[in-house]
Amino acid sequence: MLTSQLKPQQEKSNFIIKTPKGTRDLSPQQMVVREKILDMVVGCFKRHGAKRLDTPAFELKEMLTEKYGEDSGLIYDLKDQGGELLSLRYDLTVPFARYLAMNKVKKMKRYHVGKVWRRESPTIVQGRYREFCQCDFDIAGQFDPMIPDAECLKIMCEILSGLQLGDFIIKVNDRRILDGMFAVCGVPESKFHAICSSIDKLDKISWKDVRHEMVAKKGLAPEVADRIGDYVQCHGGVSLIEQMFQDPRLSQNKQALDGLGDLKLLFEYLTLFGIAEKISFDLSLARGLDYYTGVIYEAVLLQTPTQAQESFNVGSVAAGGRYDKLVGMFDPKGHKVPCVGLSIGVERIFSIVEQRMKTFGQKIRTTETQVFVATPQKNFLHERLKLIAELWDAGIKAELLYKNNPKLLTQLHYCEDMGIPLVVIIGEQEMKEGIIKLRSVASREEVAIKRENLVAEIQKRLSES
């Protein structure tokens, strides 16, 4: 019996009703804002020819292990209940790679919107949660170099410009340039990943602190750390790429040269797309995830639109990169499917937009009701029900009050509170004359309409508004 498992009443008094740590409910107002943002993002994905995919919220545990490097500790494992060992998905990329390998798909342009789970220590103020929504776009398949990569950056620009979040910059680097840089600076290969995840913190903590972590915690020689320091503080455009081609140390490394060659080509395409000025080649960009193999990128806002909110630091709002070996990890024969993709940080974008709406005191309509069916008299419930069914059947969004005899004023106040634009009023007089009164809530003007013309008249009004 379930009741016997529930605590007796007296013990319940100290029970606090709350959502789990790092999660939250979204109110109707928040859902309206979120839907608008998601519609814009998905609209852009569709404009670029992507098809939608969905995968389970949990995966087999072994599908997720060893794909995320140091972040693997953040994966939520489900309790073993004597069946398969499962974990909640940590991102949408690894499930996509699993899908491609499992179905032997060699080519696909897909988008995926869904929740993911991470055992972060949540700082809700920065838009970081343990359960959050991700919006991904990826291009899988063997294509000529840098064309899909350039399109991914174009998509990021279109979305961030469209959402009008303020000025942004997209930092770009290449995993091969990073690995080449580590090699020529004297980092032992076994430490590449560990040092990479330290470098990845440069946008949050100073070079001094990153250097300390690399030397004190990760055992890197101080002179090696200093050599890395010379590189990671460089950022610029095409001229920096040229400069690195000439760099006495870096130019000796084949991996780094391959990466630089691809970035040079990438910038050529970005110029043709008209977005090169939004992109910065940044040698400190590391993207901690283990699966990246080539170009990596991250978009940051240069300032939040509400300058008063100085403390409101949001960090990166979109990121991605190339991962050519991930699908091969799932394939028994190791068949590779090269992929490149991006993830839009909708939660963070959502925090910014919400913050801005608070600052400017914008009111949000939480319903889309177009017409309210009202009456000034008693005993008109039957007429109202007949009338509202007619509106619903014609595809008109309509509501009424669930009362037999509501007061007219109560009904009109409801329309004003909810932002409903039109009211249809039916009473004794109207019934006698075979008409309905149509009232505009904003201007309070009323017109009499023949009962049979009502639907057409409402549709005409709605199409004009």
Annotated binding residue 429? no
195 token code pair: 């040092």
Annotated binding residue 149? no
CA distances from 255 to 72, 179, 294 (A): 27, 7, 10
Q: Is 387 exposed, middle or buried (0-12, 13-18, 19+ CB in 10 A)?
A: buried
Q: For residues 357 and 349, what is the distance between their CA atoms, to the nearest angstrom?
A: 12
Contact yes or no for 94/59 (Cβ under 8 A): yes
| DSSP secondary structure, 205-268, as one string | S-HHHHHHIIIIIT---HHHHHHHHHHHT-EESHHHHHHHHH-TTGGG-HHHHHHHHHHHHHHH
Between strands 339-344 and 131-140, the pairing is antiparallel
Q: How many helices (H) and strands (E) does the chain have?
A: 17, 16
Q: For residues 435 and 427, what is the distance between their CA atoms, to the nearest angstrom?
A: 10
Nearest Cα to 270, choosing from 142, 161, 146, 136? 146
Q: For residues 244 and 305, what is the distance between their CA atoms, to the nearest angstrom?
A: 35
Taking the CB of residue 245, how many other CB atoms lie within 10 A of it? 14
Contact yes or no for 328/345 (Cβ under 8 A): no
361 token code pair: 């005191």
Annotated binding residue 93? yes
Annotated binding residue 291? yes
Q: Is 218 exposed, middle or buried (0-12, 13-18, 19+ CB in 10 A)?
A: middle
Give the SS3 label for residue 146.
coil
Q: What angle do CA 315, 325, 108 make, to 5 degrees?
A: 80
Give the sheet arrangement for strand 446-450, strand by strand.
398-399, 371-374, 422-425, 435-440, 446-450
Annotated binding residue 129? no
Nearest Cα to 280, choosing from 338, 203, 201, 344? 203
Annotated binding residue 138? yes
Between strands 295-301 and 168-174, the pairing is antiparallel
Annotated binding residue 118? yes
412 token code pair: 């009109």
Annotated binding residue 226? no
Annotated binding residue 68? no
192 token code pair: 């590449």
Binding residue ranges for L-histidine: 91-93, 118, 134, 138, 287, 291-292
Binding residue ranges: 91-93, 118, 134, 138, 287, 291-292
